[in-house]
């Protein structure tokens, strides 16, 4: 297999929270490399630093030490504009609590990242005509539909979030993360708020997306959830204690999706 592009390369990452009298080392000497197309779990108990690691890797927080190359570029010197572009174009987020806008439809929720897409060609071409600017293009709508189809939620496109179950909400949230076709999807405890059946569905979708070539980084404290990935980074007390391939990978495929 040809070597894929390294998306995330970090060395000796440190994150120290300075609380005046006490200094908390949330991350010490974390190093890792994640390539395009990988499905990696970051696993550890609460307080282990896995969330901090995810925040740093997803460019939400700056580390206090170490180096981090995101797609070969020094991530520690990105300015606000560049960070906004990367969050829009290269990173997708899936949150534990879904974070759908409750007062707008599924369509508009998934469309949200496209509203801030000032970069890609088909949306840029929208800006050329006034009507395109006013209405958004059909191209945009196609992208929303495709993302919803990828998570088997196309039939709910005109629903409001309160009409959806927890698992469906999370699938919509995944569609939203997908819609700009990012290089990497960060999922922060995506099954934490779901019953096991809905959780399995979400994991199945993540596995499907992975199969289609998406890079996925899953943060979880559950062993069983983590084993849906190809590779697990175990973290404890701010240090990566192990980095190994999953020998007996779980597949969520045998569960039939309930529509």
Partner 1 sequence: MIRQLLLSLRITWQNFFAAKLRTSLTVLGIVIGIAAILIVMSIGASAQDLILGQIRAVGSNLIGILPGASEDDGPPASAFGIVITTLTNDDLEALRKKSNVPHAVAISGYVTGNAIVKSKNYTKSQTFQGVSADMINVENNTISTGRFFSVAEDEKNAHVAVLGATIAKDIFDDADPLGKKIKIDDQTFRVVGVLKPKGSSLISNFDEMIYIPLQAAQKNLLGIDHLNFIRLRVDSEEHMVQTEKDVDALLRSRHDIPDDENGDYSIRNMASALSIINNVTNIMKYFLAAVAAVSLIVGGIGVMNIMFIALSQRIREIGLRKAVGARKRDIVTQFLFESMTIACVGGIVGFLSGLGVVYFVGYVARVQGYTWTVFLSWNMVVMALITSAILGFFFGIYPAWKASKISPMEALRYE
Residues interacting with partner 1, by CB under 8 A?
51, 55, 60-61, 80-81, 84-85, 87-89, 93, 95-97, 99, 101, 103-104, 108, 112-113, 115-117, 127, 133-136, 176, 180, 188-189, 192
The span from the CA of 55 to the CA of 140, in Å, is 29
Q: How far is the CB of 211 from partner 1 (least distance, A)?
A: 24
Cβ nearer to partner 1, comparing 133 with 212: 133
- Edge-first strand order for the sheet with 215-220 is 91-94, 184-188, 215-220, 39-43, 231-236, 239-245
As a whole number of angstroms, the distance between CA 171 and CA 191 comes to: 11
Shortest distance, position 179 Cβ to partner 1, whole Å: 9
Phi, psi of 116 (to 5 degrees): -105, 15
Helix (H) or strand (E) holding 13: strand 6-19
Which lies closer to partner 1 via its Cβ, residue 115 or residue 258? 115
The CA distance from 145 to 217, in Å, is 24
CB nearer to partner 1: pick between 77 and 130 = 130
Closest to partner 1 by CB, 24 vs 31, is: 24
Residue with structure tokens 């829009």?
88
Q: Is the Cβ of residue 99 or residue 165 nearer to partner 1 in the bound state?
A: 99
CB of 92 to partner 1, least distance (A): 8
Helix (H) or strand (E) holding 70: strand 65-70
CB of residue 257 to partner 1, shortest distance in Å: 26
The least CB distance from residue 95 to partner 1, in Å, is 6
d(CA 100, CA 246): 32
Query: Tokens 């399995």 identify what position?
Result: 200
């Amino acid at each position: 297999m040809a070597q894929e592009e390294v998306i995330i390369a970090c060395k000796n990452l440190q994150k120290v929270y300075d609380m005046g009298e006490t200094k908390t080392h949330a991350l010490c000497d974390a190093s890792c490399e994640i390539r395009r197309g990988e499905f990696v779990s970051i696993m550890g108990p609460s307080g282990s630093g896995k969330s901090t690691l995810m925040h740093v890797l997803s460019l939400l927080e700056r580390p206090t030490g170490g180096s981090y190359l995101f797609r070969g570029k020094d991530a520690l010197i990105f300015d606000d504009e560049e960070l906004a572009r990367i969050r829009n174009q290269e990173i997708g987020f899936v949150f534990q609590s879904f974070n759908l806008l409750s007062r707008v439809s599924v369509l508009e929720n998934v469309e949200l990242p496209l509203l801030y897409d000032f970069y890609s060609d088909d949306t840029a071409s929208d800006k050329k005509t006034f009507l395109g600017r006013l209405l958004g293009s059909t191209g945009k709508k196609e992208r929303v539909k495709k993302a919803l189809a990828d998570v088997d939620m196309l039939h709910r496109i005109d629903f409001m979030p309160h009409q959806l179950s927890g698992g469906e909400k999370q699938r919509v949230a995944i569609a939203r993360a997908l819609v700009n076709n990012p290089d990497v999807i960060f999922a922060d405890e995506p099954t934490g708020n779901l019953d096991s059946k809905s959780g399995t569905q979400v994991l199945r979708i993540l596995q499907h997306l992975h199969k289609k070539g998406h890079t996925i980084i899953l943060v979880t404290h559950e062993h069983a959830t983590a084993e849906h990935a190809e590779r697990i980074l175990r973290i404890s007390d701010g240090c990566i204690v192990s980095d190994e391939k999953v020998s007996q990978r779980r597949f969520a495929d045998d569960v039939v999706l309930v529509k």
